[in-house]
Structure 1
């Protein structure tokens, strides 16, 4: 990729730096080239590289690279500006999102915006970060901190210490500067480099929090913000609350799967009604806790109760995954052949784990009491057995060696009314109850469209014409609904 801009903030005023911002960029040349080829990369997608400060407090210091992409509108006469797609995670890449979304976005939107993507700092083709974790620590049932089969957390405590120490040892200087505030600043640098006075964006999942932080830090530079599948922005807890919300979200969403499976009891044999399917799942998970099954192709992992729980959580993101989960449960119950697992590559897990950990730990302080976590896990296992205490268990942030450089942003109602929230009622990852907190934080800046659907991701994701049209109308006209809307 080529240099998009080499932005200099030398000479920024003391007042600007005190606010945590960077002075306007000096003149910069724009140079776009071909994107790295790969499956699904649209021939129209262009790529470039943007240099930004690693530490915005020292804008004349070392820089890092941001990989940026775009697909320009085919109708420049109708062009309003750019629509940036903010990926979720933390740790998800976004460079090729324009290629994906131009196949889905309505023509009215494509006519008005260049669709822009990026890999966040530390991710993918942007300057990447890695903690050099041991293979044993990349297990899917470690990266989310599931307790032991008996509810004990001793292994989680040891794992958490190893991860924190590995990140301190191997993460390099960049790992200290990965945070949501800095991603919001990076987005403003992308805006400047593109020559835009304001920027519109569509953030999904963690991208909603990034978008909310950007809209709070840079309200006058935010055009139209669509926040899809919303995180709870509680500034006292931030990612601690996001993890805790898995317990709520899975309980909200599992009945959709259970009802679906019960309607196909003749095929899968999981239970004749939703309550029976739930009992089957809990009994199967408990049995696999006691006696895991070999799972060929799972990189040496066995199908344990925790791996079944993690597979279930991921399956609840979309109705399209229900047959896979039901088939896995049936095979485990009947000692049949297990379907092949979908295991991410180790390199991707290394990058995602490092970026996610750095973001969550650098954004806010975490409690470090082992006994406190032990009590929380015991209570949560009883209240939310589907997730078995994972959402409140101990993780690496309890032992993170770096103090947060800044306090979390308090999302506020100060700014223009230009934020549209869209939310499924039954989201396993970012539950409706948390999205209501985001709605409350924005006050009259925002409106919320609630969609009577399950899964993670709303706009153009589940065929709800009412919700989709509300977002399209906002992006094309700028008009928010007169009041919150149910679809």
Structure 2
């Protein structure tokens, strides 16, 4: 749920428009109506089974929203809303709006889990949040509870993996599938208005219904774009904003997500390839590192089915390279034939050899796997559909299809982390038609109060460069850097008092670390909360320290 599916679209128009005057911000606020919401127990389909720990504090409702808030024409869409009420209503200070990521991530289950964690927390500021703030979410359009959209089949593609096969025949199969998906996903009456702009207007409807002057916000990954978009439209109703492992909101989807492919490739080189190059004999490649480099350069197309971006260790990469060599040289026709070949030693050390052959056997099953005959979804049929639709509705895509193909070929040549799946998404958007969302106005974000970004220094889904770009662009931005971490999604998912205290204190009070710097750092996550041992003493509280960051790096785009 925290993860943002990568896409390598490049050289598109920016999400941001030119600045307007402050008087033009919060355009709908003066005449906006206050919706009426009837709150009741939540459907399991929205939140999962209700936790007895929250009692009747967890409740759901719906509100009738204009299909297009900016140009209402009488067409309405029922939007689902979820809240966990403040535990002590007499002390209520406001609401924290939660965005689970995406596009396409449903907030219900995770919102309930976070509310439970805050309620049970021994940390003072999490307990403060539980007592004094409603934790609320607007279900994004197209998801269960807000006009469900189901336009993707979940079936395997009709074409081979593009990073391994960019032939005319395979390319044309992909084009046909992209056109079919664009036609199917665009057809429902409300599909063109499933976008980030309309979602933030829906959020403001809920803010008005709750009677809050300001909307406090906590968003993960794509949630940073939602927070930025809200602040660009309603800066004077924006309260405290926490962007956790955020997308680079200073750039478009294309270039921001291209940087993630680069970061994932760099991580593979650093964590997996370099250890093999430094001691190739240990991994079964003899004494010449050039053999390893050549094997990486010549990974056959079918090996791209193995999602090389998921490789994290030298053992995983070495097993992949050995398997690819057997595939290319011996060409075994069946899985059993490949498994027989894998009975032979791969590395001189018995322990290393056992690990490599075990991994290679598992990978071989994937290489020879037949296409599935039943649907498989990453975030469910609605979530996967929304993930396709929102980028097309949010922005204009301008590259030619021939340029997309050239970039896909170059990505496949340069980066182990690319799969080619992202190309389908871009072609869909190119054939989609003009976007329905009006561009954000970046200058308006600076009218909002200071906001806090959380960022792991080695996050490969939303790399550090994106947070640095935002810090450089917005004078009201502050960044908590987590060093020695590759976690995507930090707040509530670590055991670090430094991280958890800083984020919760900011959301509860607006207080930021007094370091004299707009960037400050914690060291490590200290693991997941699930790794804690009951009864063990808490880790010592350490305040963040000021850091000086280098200038944002030059963009690596095709």
| TM band (smaller chain) | 0.7 to 0.9
Query: Tell me, which stretches of 5 or more residues in structure 1 are unaligned?
Result: 1-15, 291-303
On the 8 A contact 1:357/1:396 being kept in 2, the answer is no
On the 8 A contact 2:195/2:437 being kept in 1, the answer is no
What do the CA deviations read for 1:4-28 (whole angstroms, capped 9, x no partner)? xxxxxxxxxxxx9997636544454
Query: Tell me, which stretches of 5 or more residues in structure 2 are unaligned?
Result: 1-22, 119-125, 321-351, 523-558
What do the CA deviations read for 1:214-247 (whole angstroms, capped 9, x no partner)? 1121111111100011111245xx2212331221
State the SS of the aligned residue for 2:412: helix
Greater shift after overlay, 326-335 or 377-386?
326-335
Aligned to 2:39: 32
Distance 2:426 2:261 in 1: 16
Aligned to 1:79: 92
Distance 1:56 1:450 in 2: 37
State the SS of the aligned residue for 2:116: coil
Aligned to 1:104: 117
Aligned to 2:501: 469
1:21 partnered with 2:20: no
Higher RCO by CA contacts (8 Å cutoff, separation 6 or greater): 2
CA spacing shift, 1:480–1:335, aligned 2, 3 Å:
closer
Aligned to 1:41: 50
TM-score, with normalisation over the residues of structure 2? Answer: 0.67
CA spacing shift, 1:66–1:475, aligned 2, 3 Å:
same
Q: How does 1:68-217 map to 2 (within 5 A)?
A: 68-105=81-118, 106-133=126-153, 135-137=155-157, 147-152=162-167, 155=170, 158-169=173-184, 171-217=187-233
Aligned to 1:62: 75
Aligned to 1:12: none
Offset of residue 30 of structure 1? 3.3
- From 469, 480, 483, the equivalent of 1:437 is 469
CA spacing shift, 1:150–1:397, aligned 2, 3 Å:
closer
Offset of residue 478 of structure 1? 0.7
On the 8 A contact 2:155/2:376 being kept in 1, the answer is no
Aligned to 1:478: 510
Aligned to 2:417: 386
CA spacing shift, 1:306–1:389, aligned 2, 3 Å:
same
Give the CA RMSD over aligned residues. 4.1
Aligned to 1:428: 460
Who wins on radius of gyration, i.e. which is larger? 2
Distance 2:271 2:375 in 1: 24
Q: How does 1:249-288 map to 2 (within 5 A)?
A: 249-254=263-268, 258=272, 286=299
Distance 1:227 1:378 in 2: 34
CA spacing shift, 1:18–1:223, aligned 2, 3 Å:
closer
Q: How does 1:219-298 map to 2 (within 5 A)?
A: 219-235=235-251, 238-254=252-268, 258=272, 286=299, 289-290=301-302
Distance 2:180 2:363 in 1: 41
CA spacing shift, 1:183–1:124, aligned 2, 3 Å:
same
What do the CA deviations read for 1:176-221 (whole angstroms, capped 9, x no partner)? 1122111111111111122211111101011111111111211111
State the SS of the aligned residue for 2:107: coil
On the 8 A contact 1:152/1:374 being kept in 2, the answer is no
State the SS of the aligned residue for 1:201: strand
Offset of residue 431 of structure 1? 0.7
